[in-house]
Amino acid sequence: MPNKLNDDRRHKFKKMRYRVTNWPQYDAALVRRGDLTVWLTEEAVTAWHSPRRTGRGGQRIYSDLAIETGLALRVVLRLALRQTEGALRSIAGLLGAVIKVPDHTTFSRRSAHLTILPQTVKRDEPIHLLIDSTGLKIYGEGEWLDQKHGVRARRRWRELHIAVDADTHEVRACELTPDDVGDVTAVPDLLDQVKDPVAAVIADGAYDGQPVYDDVAANHPGAAIIIPPRSTAVAGQNENPTQRDRHLEAIAKHGRRGWQQQSGYGRRSLVETAMFRYKTIIGRRLHARTRSNQQTEAKIACNVLNRMASLGMPVSVRVK
């Protein structure tokens, strides 16, 4: 089995145990995630209808905020577009809000050109950015149909690239690409979305390469880059050693495990936790069928996770 390969060379770690120290506050935050007023706020109702245009052209009824609010509610409740329309109508009636509700075709049409900005809290201190990617299934024939006809079609998915703040667990940047786009290629787009100062960029060995070091230096000069070099990597011949060269020297001196402890590479596990949180709360597949709508869906889903994180996150300590 794959998990038994190189078993004699693996480090043996005892299973760590943690205890949540703020359970009452975190329990209340989990309850608030289901509160409809968290997702359909008074600000959204006030700016629900689009301002009237003074020039020539068609007049939009709904603002971008209204479309984004409806799509966010769809992600939270895991509804189809028609059920989202019905849910919004009933919520508007219960709240007594005098608003028109977009139909499902309007949601689908407007989401293709909707600009979604990350909903994060601006921080003054530099952030530690954790980068990783995962695959999300998309609409297709399905494995059952392939087995029925005896033909194994190529599995199709989208690649979700995210950058997470290690301290707040917020998704600071996200990008959805086809499955043939490599991890390194998506790094510039992620870094362009982060406007706050960055203290360090942490990623796994798939991002080891000079292009990533160049992109980080261009967008965030002075940021530390903590990426484990490949086992076949060799130091450069330059007089001034680069960050990658210093990583190789530390690994040769202290071993990879010692380098991980000294460099803080262990914090990278937090981005894997964010991936698990996405697939547990949002789901493992995309519901939209076109690529533009899928990109909008993924960005709205990341904003939903950020809203949930702002309500409260667990504070855990290791139990020795």
Q: How far apart are CA 189 and CA 187, in angstroms?
A: 6
Phi-psi region of 271 (alpha: psi -120 to 50; beta: other; left: phi over 0): alpha
User: Is 129:83 a contact under the CB 8 Å cutoff?
Assistant: no
Rounded to 5°, the CA angle 247-251-254 comes to 130
Q: Where does residue 36 rank: exposed (0-12), middle (13-18), buried (19+ CB within 10 A)?
A: middle
d(CA 285, CA 283): 6
Dump pLDDT digits (tens) for 133-143: 999 998 765 55
Cα–Cα distance measured from residue 268 to residue 180, given in angstroms and rounded to the nearest whole number = 24
CA-nearest of 219, 207, 182 to 130 is 207
Task: Tell me the C-alpha distance between 262 and 258, whole Å.
Answer: 6
Q: How many residues are listed for the chain in this entry?
A: 320
Tokens of 282: 């949002």
Name residue, tokens 């301290």: 167
- pTM (two decimals): 0.87
Q: Is the pLDDT of residue 1 over 50?
A: no
Residue type at 98 in one-letter notation: V
Return the domain boundaries, the chain.
23-111, 127-313
**Residue 3 carries which DSSP code?**
G
φ/ψ of 114, rounded to 5, equals: -85, 130
Q: What is the mean pLDDT of the chain?
A: 88
Helices (H) and strands (E) in the chain, counts: 12, 7
Q: Coil, helix or strand for 220?
A: coil
Instruction: Report domain 127-313's class.
Output: alpha beta
pLDDT tens-digit series, residues 228-282: 998 888 887 777 888 998 999 999 999 888 999 899 999 999 999 999 999 999 9
Q: What is the mean pLDDT of residues 207-216?
A: 92
